Amino acid sequence: MTVRVDALIIGAGFAGIAQGLTLRDAGVRSFFIAERAESVGGTWRDNSYPGIACDVPSHLYGLETHPWPGWSRVFAPGAEIREYLERVVVTEGLDRHLLLGSTMTSARWDGSTWHVTLTTPFPVTPVHNDANSRPKVSETGTRGGRGQKLASLCTREVVADSLILAAGRLTEPKIPQIPGLHTFPGPMFHSARWRHDLDLADKRVAVVGTGATAIQLAPALARLGARVTLFQRTPAWIVPRGDRAVDGSEMRAYEDDPALLARHRDELYAEGEARFASRSGDPDAAAAAERIARDHLAAQVADPLLREQLTPGYAFGCKRVLLSDDFYPAIADGSIALEPSALAAVRGSRLVAASGASYDADVVVLATGFETTRQPYAALVMGEFETLDEHWARGMTAVASTLVSGFPNLYVLNGPNASLGHNSSILISEAQARFAAGLIARGDRVSVTAEAERESTADIARRAARTPWLTGGCQNWYVDERSGALALLWPGTVAEFRQRLEGTLP
Q: Is the pLDDT of residue 474 over 50?
A: yes
Q: Is the pLDDT of residue 135 over 50?
A: no
Q: Write down the pLDDT at residue 127.
A: 32
Q: Which residue ranges does the chain devote to CATH 3.50.50.60?
A: 2-171+371-502, 181-237+282-366
pTM as predicted: 0.92
Q: Write down the pLDDT at residue 142.
A: 30
Q: Can you name the CATH fold of 181-237+282-366?
A: FAD/NAD(P)-binding domain (3.50.50)
Q: Is the pLDDT of residue 87 over 70?
A: yes
Name the more confident of 413 and 133: 413
122-128 CB contacts, 8 Å cutoff, 24+ apart:
122/150, 122/151, 122/154, 123/151, 123/154, 123/156, 124/3, 124/99, 124/156, 125/1, 126/3, 126/32
Q: Where are the beta strands (DSSP E) in 252-380?
A: 322-323, 336-339, 343-347, 350-353, 358-360, 363-366
**CATH C-level class of 2-171+371-502:** alpha beta
Q: Is the pLDDT of residue 189 over 60?
A: yes
Largest CA distance in the chain: 68
Give the pLDDT confidence of 226-283 residue by residue, as tens digits.
999 999 999 999 999 999 999 999 999 999 999 999 999 999 999 999 999 999 999 9
Phi, psi dihedrals of residue 330, rounded to the nearest 5°: -70, -30
Q: 327 - beta bridge partners?
A: none
Q: Is the pLDDT of residue 72 over 70?
A: yes
Is residue 55 within 8 Å of residue 78, measured between CB atoms?
no
Q: Is the pLDDT of residue 5 over 70?
A: yes
Phi, psi dihedrals of residue 305, rounded to the nearest 5°: -65, -45
What type of residue is 210? T
What average pLDDT does the structure give for the chain? Answer: 93
Q: Is the pLDDT of residue 76 over 90?
A: yes
What type of residue is 330? A
Q: Write down the pLDDT at residue 3.
A: 94
Is residue 22 within 8 Å of residue 177, measured between CB atoms?
no
Q: Which residues of 324-347 are buried (b: 16+ CB within 10 A; e: fewer)?
A: bbbbbebbbeebbebbbbbbbebe
Q: Is the pLDDT of residue 57 over 70?
A: yes
Q: Write down the pLDDT at residue 374.
A: 86
Using CA atoms, how far apart are residues 77 and 480, in angstroms rounded to an integer? 30
What type of residue is 349? S
Q: Write down the pLDDT at residue 122.
A: 55
pLDDT band at 97 (very low <50, low <70, confident <90, very high): very high
Give the pLDDT confidence of 307-318 residue by residue, as tens digits.
999 999 999 999
Q: Is the pLDDT of residue 139 over 80?
A: no
pLDDT band at 141 (very low <50, low <70, confident <90, very high): very low
**What would the mean pLDDT of 477-488 be, rounded to a whole number?**
94
